[in-house]
Structure 1
Amino acid sequence: MTISAARFLPGLELSGILYEEAVRPILRDAFPGLSYAAARVGSGSEVLGFDSPRSVDHDWGPRLEIFLNAEAKVEHGAGIRRLLAERLPKQVRGWPTHFQESDDPLDPVGHMRKTDGPVNHRVDLHDVDGWLAARLGLASAEAELDVREWLALPQQRLAETTGGIVFHDGLGSLTGVRRRLAWYPEQVWRHLLACQWQRIAQEESFVGRCAEVGDDIGSAVVTARLVRSLMHLCHLLERRYAPYDKWLGSSFSRLATAESLGPTLRGALAATDYPARESHLCDAYEAVASLQNASGLIAPVDPGRRPYHARPFLVLRAERFAQALARTVTDPDLRELPLVGGVDQWTDNADLLSRPSAVHAAIHAIG
């Protein structure tokens, strides 16, 4: 069977087959009694359930993460890698387990290829603490996070850490840390909600102001930014980590509010004049404000649209919701912080967000 003829399977399903039919028997026979965890977590569209046949050309395939304790990784890591290279099947459900490395700077990722020799596999070995340090900047799986450490965790990375599937956890630490990171502590959650409303408050009047001076492109750009901010806010309200922009719309479509709110947001994006943009945005503001009121986190705030001070622009005045939420934050460290929020509420630069040490340093500089 050629790669092109292989039937597409969701990557998580393919990883499960790789583990159950190949990796698990090899480890059982060669290392009886070895404590380990096996999972498909971390980077990759399949971890969040967004892979498709297009994914096949880019770091997709029979992949797995094996976690050992630090001592076992040092003692057995090289042997396990070598053993898997020798004994893994050449393909799983028609998909090669061998990844050919590329030296093409325009296409640097590994690609599945057939091989008659040892398999250059993507069964990656880690220890849990080292993996968490590299991806999130956490000291260990058992460490308690303070509020600033929570604010330094990008939602994309949190989604990748808590998503996917754990097929086996003989260590316990991987499952435990995924449970602890499943969602923000309530005080951090309230703070982030306040900050997200504040983001909307900063720009909601700009849609009309740009249009007033003849800047239709600027008005459209601000509208798109506000739609994006509302989508992030809906993720927060539904206690779902928002992925980065490639998958934000896909993730939003799975939220409970997407069916009713989606047409309004699409209407705002498709509008070609300011009155239509304003109308759709105000409909969206009122819908999300009503969701906030229904959450029970704050006493109800009037969700209706209103003029922006004395100017003829209809807005929500979203700072009312930001302030109402901020008043419910009792954690002293959070109360001292300005309403700028978590790291991905003030930057979406992927290169920065992938550097935990820089992100933690930036968060600790805010005050």
Structure 2
Amino acid sequence: MNEIVHISRAFFEEVVQSILETELPEVAQVAACGVFGYGSECFGMDDEVSRDHHFGLRIDVLLPDEVHRSASSTVIETVGTQLPSSFRGYDLREGHVAGAGLAPESLEAFLTRTIGLTRGPETNVEWLKMPEEDIVHVTNGEVWYDPSGTFTGIRDTLSYYPDPVWLRRISHWCRYLSGMGVYALNRALIRKNYQYASITFARSIKWAIEIAFMLNRQYFPYDKWLDAYFRRLPTLADQMVPLVDEAVQLDSSWQRKLEILETLSDILDARMVEMGIIAAHPPFVGNETSGYRLLEHAYADIVQNLPDDVRNVVPQWDQVYLEEFHTEYVNGIMIEDWDRLLNLTPV
């Protein structure tokens, strides 16, 4: 984890924790504190580029909804009035803490905008309705303080998918990569539809990488962090990274891009056979107009062996809960303040 997280933890343990426990012990007993959720620093990916907004010392605090509604303003006032002006060179009047020392939020609201629930999932269907790239906003970062264990328990529950959910997601991503990727790209190139070819090629690379995460039993992150974490995968990265790097080069021909997607399909298929996810099968060849739809064979093999409660549930693949929250947030802010957050300067 990067420097700002280490210093934020020291700030909490040396300054804020004692204030909470002394002045607001009942709140402290139900609080979960750390750095987690949204932002590059929660993934250890903070750099100079990401520091142009919302950067600084950070203490995320989750409280039960009723406690948050009744006590959050008291928490901010009590802690804020006892803070030094800076801590280890960081101004405490800027960034996430913005004079308050911490950023309290309702636990239920945080979970709703990430996984769409107010608790951990209890059924396979609930698991399948959660966007994968938002599960990691619950499980990422660090939790330093959680006396009740509530948030830590939810993070533990979300450590990874139950097998039926895992297999259902793999199957559908195989469908995406093969049917909406390799097949679609092949036909786009036959028709010289390079706009659609560009769209489906980019999506196919993303889907191939995301399947690699699934086969490593690791959640994939939001798109902008996908490449960095992809390169760290224990398996498949060594085979796939050189191919992906070649495929995305502008001077790689369209035919070569298609060939690479077919090779990636072979690599992923072989790994699924090796893991026992699908049965061993003879080699296949595609045809001129349909291309090489290998992973749709895997899709059918997995789907036909899934339990009834997950087979017909299409996995969630977009950040719908975050976007619902974001729409409400933007609707409630002055547009001039929004422009400042966007670093837009009128001229």
Q: TM-score range by the shorter chain?
A: 0.7 to 0.9
SS in structure 1 at match of 2:111? helix
CA RMSD of aligned residues (A): 2.8
Aligned to 1:281: 261
Distance 1:249 1:45 in 2: 14
- Aligned-pair identity in percent equals 23
C-alpha spacing 1:225/1:68, structure 2 compared with 1 (3 Å)? closer
1:295 Cα shift? 1.9
Aligned to 1:306: 285
Structure with the higher fraction of residues in helix conformation: 2
Contact 2:187/2:289 (<8 A) preserved: no
C-alpha spacing 1:134/1:281, structure 2 compared with 1 (3 Å)? closer
Aligned to 2:294: 317
Contact 1:137/1:357 (<8 A) preserved: no
Distance 1:67 1:208 in 2: 49
Equivalent of residue 198 in structure 1, options 175, 181, 197: 175
Find out whether 1:184 has 2:161 as its counterpart: yes
Aligned to 1:124: 103
1:290 Cα shift? 1.5
Aligned to 1:355: 324
Extract structure 1 runs of 4+ deviating beyond 6 A. Answer: none
Find out whether 1:17 has 2:17 as its counterpart: no
Aligned to 1:46: 41
C-alpha spacing 1:192/1:55, structure 2 compared with 1 (3 Å)? same
Aligned to 1:333: 309
Which residues in structure 2 correspond to 1:79-228 (within 5 Å)?
79-99=74-94, 120-121=99-100, 123-140=102-119, 144-202=121-179, 203-228=181-206
Distance 2:291 2:57 in 1: 52
1:357 Cα shift? 12
Distance 2:321 2:69 in 1: 30
Distance 1:17 1:40 in 2: 12
Q: Which region of structure 1 is more displaced relative to structure 2, 64-73 or 256-265? A: 64-73
Aligned to 2:337: none
Instruction: Name the amino acid aligned to 1:16.
Output: R
Q: Alignment length, in residue pairs?
A: 322
Contact 2:266/2:294 (<8 A) preserved: no
Partner deviation per Cα, 1:181-210 (whole Å, 9 max, x = no partner)? 121121111111110001122131233322
SS in structure 2 at match of 1:39? strand
Distance 1:75 1:211 in 2: 60
SS in structure 1 at match of 2:201? helix
Contact 2:171/2:300 (<8 A) preserved: yes
1:123 Cα shift? 1.0
Distance 1:315 1:154 in 2: 29
SS in structure 1 at match of 2:143? strand
Aligned to 1:30: 23
SS in structure 2 at match of 1:306? coil
Aligned to 2:227: 249
User: Structure 2: where are the runs of 5+ without partners?
Assistant: 328-347
1:164 Cα shift? 0.8
SS in structure 2 at match of 1:120? coil
Structure with the higher fraction of residues in strand conformation: 1
Contact 1:10/1:51 (<8 A) preserved: no
| TM superposition score normalised by structure 1 | 0.78
Distance 1:254 1:23 in 2: 35
C-alpha spacing 1:352/1:9, structure 2 compared with 1 (3 Å)? closer
Distance 2:90 2:253 in 1: 50
SS in structure 1 at match of 2:294? coil
Equivalent of residue 277 in structure 2, options 297, 301, 322: 297
User: Structure 1: where are the runs of 5+ without partners?
Assistant: 1-7, 100-109, 113-118, 359-367
C-alpha spacing 1:356/1:152, structure 2 compared with 1 (3 Å)? farther
Distance 2:209 2:138 in 1: 21
Aligned to 1:261: 240
1:227 Cα shift? 1.1
Distance 2:115 2:133 in 1: 10
Instruction: Name the amino acid aligned to 1:273.
Output: S
Contact 2:114/2:135 (<8 A) preserved: no
Contact 2:33/2:145 (<8 A) preserved: yes
Partner deviation per Cα, 1:159-188 (whole Å, 9 max, x = no partner)? 010111010110111110111112112111
Partner deviation per Cα, 1:54-113 (whole Å, 9 max, x = no partner)? 2222112111122334554455433221122111222222121212xxxxxxxxxx688x
Distance 1:313 1:195 in 2: 19
Distance 2:276 2:285 in 1: 23
Distance 1:313 1:73 in 2: 56
C-alpha spacing 1:336/1:54, structure 2 compared with 1 (3 Å)? closer
Distance 1:170 1:353 in 2: 28
1:13 Cα shift? 1.7
Distance 2:200 2:114 in 1: 32
Contact 1:187/1:329 (<8 A) preserved: yes
Contact 2:177/2:204 (<8 A) preserved: yes
Distance 1:316 1:209 in 2: 12
Instruction: Name the amino acid aligned to 2:154.
Output: V
C-alpha spacing 1:313/1:68, structure 2 compared with 1 (3 Å)? closer
Contact 2:2/2:44 (<8 A) preserved: no
